[in-house]
Amino acid sequence: MPAAITSERGPGAGAGTRTRRPRAAAAVLLAALLSALLSPSGAAAAQTAAQAAAPDRAVPTPMTHPEDDHAGSGLRRLGPAGREAVTPAAAAATGPAGLDVSSHQGAVDWAAVKRNGAAFAYVKATEGTTYTSPDYPQQYNGAYNAGLIRGAYHFALPNNSSGVAQADWFTSHGGGWSTDGRTLPPALDIEYNPYGSSCYGLSQSAMVSWIRAFSNEVRARTGRYPAIYTTTDWWTTCTGNNSGFGATNPLWIARYAGSPGALPAGWSAQTIWQYADSGVFPGDQDTFNGSLAGLQAFARGDGYTPPPASGWPTVRQGSTGERVRTVQYLLTAHGASLAVDGDFGPGTDSAVRSFQSAHGLAVDGVVGPGTWQALVVTVRQGSTGPAVTAAQSQLKAHGASLAVDGDFGPGTDSAVRSFQSAHGLAVDGVVGSNTWQALVA
């Protein structure tokens, strides 16, 4: 299986010791790389040809557009099927708002970003072992000066050099951390390859080893394990859905949909969710899973643990009661036609499986964490419909006195705020992911 070409010589990726190969394969490899250098648009073709000549190793990528490589740039590989409509209100209900930027955005008006409600930002610092963002100083320092909590991230090219080499480049060119309460932990952006094969020519085991080496080196140099930015699809495909990082590395999940969805193995909850590539802020739109106090604790390194997705209950065929009624109301809100009777029978099972199939979830008819997070609809004062009815029914089951009429008016708003206060949630009257989780727990 392919393995990373390693180098410990700093800039100049791929400079490490290499094994001998047949001359014909070496000639094809050289021709492929020369083609990429002479014609930037041929980089992907060159990598494919080179891999055919040397299938036992990953091939270095010529960086032809690092200014366009940013957290989420590879998501376009998924096309329209990789995104759904998501409103800022739905995402904001999970916690403080944020953004991530790179040289693709250029100079950022951080005062305006702060006025528009941002609490934190991640800024691209480096890529590979040769690129540093020319806009990093303005973006990183500007965010801090405007009052945001900010951090730096590295765009990984695992086929170009070792995890240790890239971690060293990153931490030497902006990827640091301090206990000032204003600095997020360093972050690793590991996602779809913008230059070629999704997994950079590495086997799943080699990819896990690369990420582990990067993570450990960042920890050794900064005192913090890096957050990992990825998607569930990429992580499953390229690491075999490895579960070995959840205990040490915060998860920064990317999913352009109404919820973070099913998470990679090992993580019970995301710390940050990138939910859109445009919106009220420059760059990509993010939200922190928790409160502002939690965000500050996360920055300080105080052992912040996000609300776990594992807190969602599991309901399946044969279940009965209020949770089933909530599932049925929410399925109706998503367009299903079924009786809301609190009885999880064949009709509800069929509706759940159809919903799971349409949203890229495991089709098993079981409403667990991933399905709950995709099902819930954020509602607030002024909302109407079955999702409001579901929230009202749950609030009533928790002792609130209000009409279950599908109309989110002042009475429902008051009941939601009372429930949030009693359960240690942000008291904002918005029934988002965290409030839904507490309602159905």
For residue 226, the 8-state DSSP code is P
pLDDT value, residue 367:
92
User: At a CB cut-off of 8 Å and minimum separation 6, what does 214 contact?
Assistant: 156, 163, 164, 166, 167, 188, 226
Terminal-residue alpha carbon distance, the chain:
45
Two tokens at 428? 């904002």
Two tokens at 286? 């993010």
Higher pLDDT, 230 or 312: 230
Two tokens at 196? 């070629």
Radius of gyration of the chain (CA): 23
CA distance 206 to 6: 12
Q: For 370-381, what is each residue's pLDDT tens digit?
A: 788 789 888 999
CA distance 119 to 291: 11
Q: For 70-105, what is each residue's pLDDT tens digit?
A: 887 777 655 544 444 444 545 555 678 999 999 999
Let me know: does 273 contact 260? Beta carbons within 8 Å: yes
CA distance 375 to 63: 40
Alpha helices in 76-127 (DSSP H): 88-92, 110-115
In the block, tokens 């010791």 appear at 17
The string of DSSP codes covering 190-213 is --S-SSS-TTTT--HHHHHHHHHH
Q: For 121-177, what is each residue's pLDDT tens digit?
A: 999 999 999 999 999 999 999 999 999 999 999 999 999 999 999 999 999 999 999
CA distance 276 to 157: 23
Q: What is the dihedral of CA 286, 291, 296, 302, to 10 degrees?
A: -110
The string of DSSP codes covering 233-244 is HHHHHHHSS--S
Strands (DSSP E) contained in 82-145 are 97-101, 118-127, 131-132
Enclosing H/E stretch for 229: strand 227-230
**Measuring CA to CA, how many Å separate 282 from each of 90, 182, 215, 319?**
19, 20, 28, 45
Let me know: does 228 contact 190? Beta carbons within 8 Å: yes
- Strand, coil or helix: what is 182? coil
pLDDT value, residue 308:
61
Please give the backbone phi and psi of residue 149, each rounded to the nearest 5 degrees, phi first. -85, 125
CA distance 109 to 13: 34
Let me know: does 352 contact 331? Beta carbons within 8 Å: yes
pLDDT value, residue 400:
95
Q: For 55-68, what is each residue's pLDDT tens digit?
A: 334 567 777 777 77
Please give the backbone phi and psi of residue 254, each rounded to the nearest 5 degrees, phi first. -110, 125
Quickly state the pLDDT bin for 215 (edges 50, 70, 90). very high
User: At a CB cut-off of 8 Å and minimum separation 6, what does 112 contact?
Assistant: none
Q: Which residues are catalytic?
A: 100, 189, 191
Two tokens at 403? 């009409």
Alpha helices in 223-368 (DSSP H): 232-239, 292-300, 322-333, 346-358
pLDDT value, residue 112:
97
pLDDT value, residue 49:
44
Q: For 3-47, what is each residue's pLDDT tens digit?
A: 332 333 233 333 333 333 344 444 444 444 444 444 433 444 444
pLDDT value, residue 417:
95
pLDDT value, residue 21:
38
CA atoms within 13 A on the CB side of 164: 7
Q: Which residue in 207, 74, 230 sits closest to 153, CA to CA?
A: 230
Mean predicted lDDT score pLDDT of the chain:
83
Q: For 303-350, what is each residue's pLDDT tens digit?
A: 888 866 556 888 999 999 999 999 999 999 999 999 999 999 999 999
Please give the backbone phi and psi of residue 189, each rounded to the nearest 5 degrees, phi first. -95, 105
The amino acid present at 6, given as its one-letter code, is T
Mean pLDDT of 230-249: 92
CA distance 330 to 426: 23
Give bridge partners of residue 315 from the DSSP assignment: 367
Quickly state the pLDDT bin for 196 (edges 50, 70, 90). confident
pLDDT value, residue 58:
59
Quickly state the pLDDT bin for 398 (edges 50, 70, 90). very high
**Measuring CA to CA, how many Å separate 321 from each of 325, 437, 440?**
6, 16, 11
- Strand, coil or helix: what is 397? helix
Q: Is the pLDDT of residue 291 over 90?
A: no
Q: Is the pLDDT of residue 185 over 90?
A: yes
